[in-house]
């Protein structure tokens, strides 16, 4: 399709774009990224033939751009430049209709049904049909942007060149526009080159990214290769964190600002309140949390931690909503709360502090073992899970890496299993040693201040504290539970 071979060019004596090469695949979306002034717009002008290349060449369908007349080129390639504030006093329909000019033969060519169809379809798909009789001067920046996109689409190009198309668009229209472009690459065999400032949007929608720095190619590859922490930090001179998108295998970049760091704090037993209804730990500030709770599950930052007592026969179609309402009713905002449930009496919770070598943790366990399960034989059971739960909370005064969070969870789970073995808890169905109950839940939360803790496996300093603490607290909680059952 379009091929740029070692192109250099710019303004005056200076080369702004230096030795850039790429070959477009048909129907792909290629994103051009780079900091301000890195030469993105200049490159786009060179690709579209607006600015000549000082060296190298651009070809389209194996012919140099110069071999095409402007009208021939306009039938193949549409350009949507950055939106400018000035606009002529045309109606939306008139503006979109101008996109048909390259397809018309002669100055006074008749308006054909193909033209009408292309204009109507483009206006409908970009959501501007409702404004068709209005002057584009009376539209908002985002609406105007969509009108010019409609004009470019009405042109029915094979290649669309866009300069920051989502500028001025709200979240919903950004998504609509890019979903539409993606769809057109399939349905209309469209190929797209687009400049983006938003790395995350570019990563989500582009097949490949061309990252520029001072006019040179840093990388030309799939988003997963281009959007790595080191490259982005070096080129954009900003601290970032990269992680994967929650639904797609596409990297996403988060800025790490200099401000907003929380003051140091330390979790102690004093932060816990115990009522007949729940155990509540209110942290002095949000804690980074990994949990399998009913609400606030997964990784996040939370302020309130609630272990709620529910009756043995608790049944609810939507325990998530039930827990949200419970949190809100009790004055903990659900969005700021990790909430678990247990049928055991919550005043039997065992809470202890452990400290060694400058590390400290607080562990809180409620244990009911009526539904104990041997996980190695659970495939033989057909009973539904009922409430009878070991809820394990591990609060860490320290700054954990992601791997330390996961290892802390593993270590706490291994320690829980060991406590069950020590207490000789059996799966009532199989008569074998239990490894947990059918509805156990676990939480690891950290202040993210103080010593940096990279690992939390069983033989690390933190792992040793968690192992000892969880075994001791779980063992005691099981003893209390059994004592209550006996009396």
338 vs 301: CA distance, rounded Å = 9
- Closest CB 16 distance from ligand ATP, rounded Å: 4
CA angle 445, 447, 451 (to 5 degrees): 115
Looking at the DSSP bridge assignments, the partners of residue 433 are 426
93 vs 123: CA distance, rounded Å = 8
| 272 backbone dihedrals φ, ψ, rounded to 5° | -95, 145
17 vs 11: CA distance, rounded Å = 10
Q: What residues contact 155, with CB distance under 8 A and at least 6 apart?
A: 74, 75, 78, 99, 100, 102, 103
- Closest CB 264 distance from ligand ATP, rounded Å: 39
53 vs 89: CA distance, rounded Å = 35
- Closest CB 38 distance from ligand ATP, rounded Å: 4
- Closest CB 59 distance from ligand ATP, rounded Å: 22
CB nearer to ligand ATP: pick between 42 and 126? 42
- Closest CB 70 distance from ligand ATP, rounded Å: 20
- Closest CB 175 distance from ligand ATP, rounded Å: 22
Select from 355, 275, 273, 360 the least CA-distant residue to 309: 275
Size of the site for ligand ATP (CB under 6 A): 10
460 vs 268: CA distance, rounded Å = 22
14 vs 17: CA distance, rounded Å = 9
CB nearer to ligand ATP: pick between 213 and 468? 213
223 near ligand ATP, judged by CB under 6 A: no
CB nearer to ligand ATP: pick between 60 and 196? 196
In order, the DSSP letters of 297-311 are -EEEEEEEEEEEE--
397 vs 132: CA distance, rounded Å = 61
- Closest CB 20 distance from ligand ATP, rounded Å: 12
- Closest CB 34 distance from ligand ATP, rounded Å: 5
User: Helices (DSSP H) in 223-377: which residue ranges?
Assistant: 223-226, 229-236, 319-329
Neighbours of 487 (CB within 10 A): 5
**Which residues from 2-61 bind ligand ATP, rule CB under 6 A?**
11, 16, 34, 36-42
Provide the CB-side half-sphere exposure for 401 (13 A, CA): 10
**Which residues from 228-247 bind ligand ATP, rule CB under 6 A?**
none
CB nearer to ligand ATP: pick between 167 and 413? 167
1 vs 6: CA distance, rounded Å = 16
Six token digits for residue 25: 């695949």
- Closest CB 277 distance from ligand ATP, rounded Å: 56
427 vs 76: CA distance, rounded Å = 71
In the block, residue with structure tokens 């529910």 = 310
CB nearer to ligand ATP: pick between 36 and 187? 36
Binding site for ligand ATP (CB under 6 A): 11, 16, 34, 36-42
């Amino acid at each position: 399709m379009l091929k740029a071979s070692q192109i250099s060019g710019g303004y005056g004596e200076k080369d702004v774009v230096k030795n850039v090469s790429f070959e477009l695949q048909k129907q792909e979306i290629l994103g051009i990224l780079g900091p301000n002034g890195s030469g993105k717009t200049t490159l786009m002008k060179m690709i579209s033939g607006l600015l000549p290349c000082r060296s190298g060449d651009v070809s389209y369908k194996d012919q140099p751009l110069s071999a095409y007349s402007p009208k021939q080129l306009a039938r193949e390639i549409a350009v949507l430049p950055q939106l400018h504030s000035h606009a002529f006093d045309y109606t939306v329909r008139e503006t979109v209709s101008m996109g048909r000019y390259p397809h018309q033969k002669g100055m006074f060519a008749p308006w054909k049904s193909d033209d009408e169809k292309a204009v109507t379809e483009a206006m409908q798909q970009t959501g501007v049909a409702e404004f068709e009789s209005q002057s584009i001067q009376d539209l908002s920046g985002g609406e105007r942007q969509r009108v010019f996109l409609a004009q470019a689409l009405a042109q029915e190009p094979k290649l669309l060149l866009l300069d920051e198309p989502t500028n001025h668009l709200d979240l919903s229209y950004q998504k609509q526009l890019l979903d539409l472009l993606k769809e057109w690459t399939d349905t209309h065999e469209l190929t797209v080159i687009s400049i983006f400032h938003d790395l995350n949007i570019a990563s989500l929608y582009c097949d490949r990214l061309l990252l520029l720095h001072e006019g040179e190619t840093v990388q030309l590859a799939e988003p997963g290769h281009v959007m790595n922490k080191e490259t982005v930090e070096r080129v954009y001179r900003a601290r970032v964190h990269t992680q994967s998108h929650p639904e797609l295998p596409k990297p996403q970049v988060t800025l790490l600002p200099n401000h907003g760091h929380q003051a140091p704090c330390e979790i102690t037993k004093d932060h816990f309140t115990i009522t007949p209804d729940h155990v509540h730990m209110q942290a002095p500030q949000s804690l980074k949390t990994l949990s399998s709770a009913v609400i606030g599950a997964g990784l996040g930052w939370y302020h309130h931690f609630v272990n709620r007592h529910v009756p043995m026969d608790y049944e609810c179609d939507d325990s998530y909503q039930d827990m949200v309402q419970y949190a809100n009713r009790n004055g903990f905002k659900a969005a700021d709360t990790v909430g678990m449930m247990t049928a055991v009496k919550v005043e039997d919770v065992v809470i202890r502090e452990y400290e060694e070598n400058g590390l400290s943790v607080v562990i809180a366990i409620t244990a009911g073992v009526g539904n104990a399960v041997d996980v190695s034989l659970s495939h033989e059971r057909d009973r539904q899970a009922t409430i009878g739960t070991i809820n394990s909370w591990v609060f860490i005064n320290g700054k954990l890496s992601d791997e330390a969070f996961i290892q802390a969870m593993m270590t706490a789970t291994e320690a829980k299993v060991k406590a069950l073995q020590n207490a000789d808890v059996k799966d009532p169905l199989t008569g074998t040693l239990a490894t947990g109950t059918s509805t156990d839940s676990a939480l690891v939360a950290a202040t993210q201040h103080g010593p940096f803790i990279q690992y939390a496996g069983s033989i690390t300093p933190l792992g040793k504290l968690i192992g000892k603490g969880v075994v001791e607290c779980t063992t005691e909680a099981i003893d209390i539970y059994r004592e209550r059952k006996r009396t």
